[in-house]
Structure 1
């Protein structure tokens, strides 16, 4: 016979007693307590999370909540009232900001995706270099989210060395190895192909030293792991051209594909705008956004500008217009 588990207990439904305070302050306490419960349940916050967010110590918060607090109730109520007001204000503001479209498969994103598929299927090393805001990170995340055995790890200046990179890989891949001398083998065994066509995508790869990149070659050679090195123009300068240093000779023959795009295509901007489903001034907004996309930040800048413009339009209960986009540009300190 299958047992039906009882529903989880409501951690906010606890017994309480009315604190001994003035009637008007007691009425305020009841209102704040109800508001606190509603807010916590709305966002799925636990008591400890509310404590962190409000800045009220957990012990104080809980005693205030169940009516057993022996200090000055008004002081705690004041802190919670200010916090609840700020949450309400931020929620109201967020509600006015249009949600940007999710991942958009632009032509550039499609080419990057094809390069990642190639690296994973062969396997090979591919080098992908793009300008800021072209859609590199969104494409990487979407690829690794939707495909089995594809892992994305982002490097930083502090993970540039071989050991620093291996520690970061181990953390991302949930690999535990206490012996540093065996860490690379343990990671390799975790990534071993065994017919699975695995891919290790390294974002911000320009932060890696040459020795660290050579360590990734070892994963390709010994474990059959496809490697994608993704980064900026610095990465292209090291590994993207045809005139590589003699020290890179072993890597040269293993670079199966190089992709470089420093500016978005016009078709990338069009695909992004199509996803916004604009209702008014469509062609004017499209022309303006094509100009915006040529600035540093490219598609990211277009998205942020349209979100701000959409907030203006939503506040006036009408479709977004080109005037809203120009107003958003001005308020972001930009000119076309």
Structure 2
């Protein structure tokens, strides 16, 4: 089997012993044997013995597995080179409002709630804020973390506790010991997945440490803090919220900034604006523009309205 160079900038065939090719790729990618073993789907000890030419088992099978791994790495690198990258984080008007809420929560040691529709940039902005500021932790919740114990476990991992103790009280103690006095900010993303007990547990961490707390999520996050008979359950949390930011749809300026970043031509912009008004907003628009850019690159042409329309249909939109 002929193997081509994994480096996407080279098309020179690679020949020679497969062990040498694997070692070269490991060095090029800065990969450990454990990483390679996981990607190749073989036992780490077996890979170590095979690389040292000391494996006493079925070497032909390992050879074949590693050739498959090298081929997959090569094809993935080639595909990544062709895949248009999305623009980096864009400081839109909405993103600046989210940043301001996060900054307030951290500097004041207070609670901020940012809620609204999907795809308006809450998570991306939180990640950018984390990159730009020290002692910022993002704990992303899912249905699996709805209970108090699982929520605390996710937070513990997010703040850097690798050996999470057993029991909610012990986990809470470990978290508070880790973050107290840091002047940090705990961002709980997708907070709509949390139960009443979990939300109160998050509030208790804030009370115990005076570290800033930001809750991000959809409309139901705020609704369950204020609505109906449930309001009494969340009285302590609701009374502590220092800043509330509701985001429904992206501002027009947000959409235009994204279109500028993708260099979308004028005749394609109205279709893009319509996509931004759909569920998913900027996230859906970004996915569509990436597909459209791939189509354009494959044809060797500049991005056009035809590519935008084709990408929208490809993603299930109506023509």
TM bucket, shorter chain:
0.7 to 0.9
**TM-score (ref. length: structure 2):** 0.82
Which consecutive residues of structure 1, in runs of 5 or more, have no partner in the other structure?
1-27
Structure 1 counterpart of 2:216: 230
Structure 2: gaps spanning 5 or more residues: 1-13
**Relative to structure 2, which stretch is displaced further, 224-233 or 152-161?**
152-161
- Which of 276, 281, 287 is the equivalent residue of 1:293? 276
User: Partner of 1:16 in structure 2?
Assistant: none
Farther off after superposition, 232-241 or 294-303? 232-241
Aligned to 1:97: 83
Deviations 1:29-60 (A, max 9, x none): 72645543443333333344333323455566
Match of 1:181 in 2: 169
1:211 is the counterpart of 2:197: yes
Question: Which residue does 2:298 correspond to in 1?
Answer: 315
1:335 corresponding residue in structure 2: 318
- 2:248 matches 1:262: yes
**Pairwise CA RMSD:** 3.0
Distance 1:271 1:146 in 2: 21
Give SS of 1:201's match: strand
* CA shift for structure 1 position 100: 0.7
How far is 1:110 from its partner?
0.8
- Choose from 138, 145, 161 the match for 2:124: 138
Show the counterpart of 1:192.
180
Aligned length: 304
Asked if residue 45 in structure 1 is aligned to residue 35 in structure 2, the reply is no
User: Is 2:150 the partner of 1:167?
Assistant: no
Distance 2:224 2:217 in 1: 11
C-alpha contact 1:192 1:225 (8 A) present in aligned 2: yes
Which moves more between the two structures, 73-82 or 325-334?
73-82
Check whether the contact 1:166–1:184 (CA below 8 A) recurs between aligned residues.
yes
TM-score (norm 1): 0.78
Aligned to 1:3: none
Deviation at 1:65, TM superposition (A): 5.3
In the alignment, the residues of structure 2 paired with residue 62 and residue 191 of structure 1 have an alpha-carbon distance, to the nearest angstrom, of 39
1-side partners of 2:245 and 2:134: how far apart? 23
Matching residue of 1:123? 109
Measure, in 2, the Cα distance between the counterparts of 1:164 and 1:69.
Answer: 42
1:300-326 superposed Cα distances (whole Å, 9 cap, x missing partner): 111121112212222233321121122
d(CA) in 1 for partners of 2:308, 2:262: 13
